[in-house]
């Protein structure tokens, strides 16, 4: 099947991920936590989808379900129109090549006992991407792409700074010549001055290699900088999504507005909406709207009936009974 305008690169249809907690040997014990609850999301070739939300929102779990790093518990996942929800590891192998993941902590995702050269060469050999005699050239090319000197190929991970390690993590993902990269908090462990370098690298690589990204981050400034579209998650569900600049300029969901207003800014502007309390337990989600327990505008309707994610004008979708006017 060829990708076309009509087929998203990656599509989740009512995707769910449940975990059982408190399960003992007694039959029927334990309860299900809905980490991701019936999320539908299409990722189109060439775009960068920013996934934002606070801890417990399910954004990382969703990212890992999208790459089938986690098995999904419900719904469907399609890659270029092909259903891969139930695909076995063997069936997934060709798709894994096209879909790579980059993780938050580059030191935890690199093997401390192996040289960069070996870590980058292994996937090339496993997936038989390049003949053996071309691997050396490809490695040099990869290092060039991520802005590291070729000599660093013979170093071990501990010899690098955090920013350089993350560049190696990116090089390893690029080794597979993927179409789609799911990056889970790729810059949040980096110092501010280094973070900007890596954010720029992501943008450069997208242009040079025609990549599509799903970019998961809690830093809203970073997400705004890299994304073409933003998806806001809360308690395992999507509460709002839309085109980046319009979503930041005029959020429609009260949660998005509170989240944006909470960012400390260099120049004091606008009033801050300080939310009361914490995220509700995903074991015991509110009956109505997921945000109704903390929403300053919640009504009885909100507390009793969960609003559906509804598409509006300009590609904006919002799950709210009383969305804010722009």
Give the Cα separation of 129 and 133 in Å (integer).
12
Contact call for residue 31 and another protein (CB under 8 A): no
Spell out, one character per residue from 103 to 142, where the chain touches another protein: x when CB under 8 A holds, - when not.
----------------------------------------
The residue (of 8 and 163) whose beta carbon lies closer to another protein is: 163
Q: Binder to another protein among 203, 209, 283, 311 (CB under 8 A)?
A: 203
Edge-to-edge strand order for the sheet containing 180-184?
Answer: 99-102, 180-184, 212-216, 48-52, 229-234, 237-243, 317-318, 310-311
Look-up of token digits 């994304």:
227
Contact call for residue 260 and another protein (CB under 8 A): yes
To another protein, the closest distance from the beta carbon of 277 in angstroms equals: 6
Give the Cα separation of 47 and 138 in Å (integer).
26
To another protein, the closest distance from the beta carbon of 259 in angstroms equals: 6
The residue (of 65 and 258) whose beta carbon lies closer to another protein is: 258
Do 40 and 46 meet the contact criterion of CB atoms below 8 Å apart? Answer: no
Tokens of 192: 């501010």
Q: Binder to another protein among 66, 139, 199, 295 (CB under 8 A)?
A: 199
Do 218 and 52 meet the contact criterion of CB atoms below 8 Å apart? Answer: yes
To another protein, the closest distance from the beta carbon of 85 in angstroms equals: 31
Contact call for residue 313 and another protein (CB under 8 A): no
Q: Shortest CA distance to 211 belongs to which of 190, 221, 226? A: 226
Q: Shortest CA distance to 228 belongs to which of 246, 210, 254, 240? A: 246
Q: Contact positions toward another protein, by CB under 8 A?
A: 54-55, 161-164, 191-197, 199-200, 203, 218-222, 224-225, 245, 248-249, 258-260, 262-269, 272, 274-275, 277-279
């Amino acid at each position: 099947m060829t990708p076309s305008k009509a087929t998203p690169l990656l599509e989740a249809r009512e995707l769910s991920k449940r975990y059982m907690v408190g399960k003992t040997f007694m039959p029927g014990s334990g309860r299900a936590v809905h980490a991701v609850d019936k999320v539908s999301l299409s990722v189109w070739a060439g775009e960068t989808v920013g996934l934002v939300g606070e801890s417990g929102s399910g954004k990382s779990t969703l990212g890992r379900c999208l790459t089938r790093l986690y098995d999904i518990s419900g719904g469907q996942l399609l890659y270029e129109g092909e259903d891969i929800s139930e695909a076995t590891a063997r069936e997934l192998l060709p798709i894994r090549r096209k879909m790579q993941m980059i993780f938050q902590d580059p030191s935890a995702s690199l093997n401390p006992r192996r040289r960069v050269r070996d870590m980058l060469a292994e996937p090339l050999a496993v997936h038989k991407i390049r003949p053996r005699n071309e691997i050396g050239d490809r490695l040099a090319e990869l290092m060039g792409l991520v802005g590291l000197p070729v000599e660093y190929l013979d170093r071990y991970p501990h010899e690098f700074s955090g920013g350089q390690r993350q560049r190696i993590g990116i090089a390893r993902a690029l080794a597979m010549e993927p179409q789609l990269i799911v990056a889970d908090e790729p810059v949040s462990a980096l110092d501010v001055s280094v973070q900007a370098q890596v954010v720029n690298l992501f943008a450069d690589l997208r242009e040079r290699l025609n990549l599509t990204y799903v970019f998961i981050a809690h830093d809203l400034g970073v997400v705004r900088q890299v994304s073409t579209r933003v998806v806001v998650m809360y308690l395992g569900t999507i509460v709002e999504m839309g085109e980046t600049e319009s979503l930041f300029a005029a959020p429609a969901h009260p949660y998005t507005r509170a989240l944006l207003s909470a960012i400390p800014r260099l120049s004091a502007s606008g009033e801050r909406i300080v939310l009361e309390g914490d995220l509700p337990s995903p074991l015991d989600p509110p009956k109505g709207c997921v945000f109704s327990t903390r929403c300053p505008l919640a009504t009885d309707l909100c507390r009793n009936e969960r609003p559906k994610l509804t598409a509006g004008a300009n590609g904006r979708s919002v799950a709210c009974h009383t969305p804010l006017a722009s």
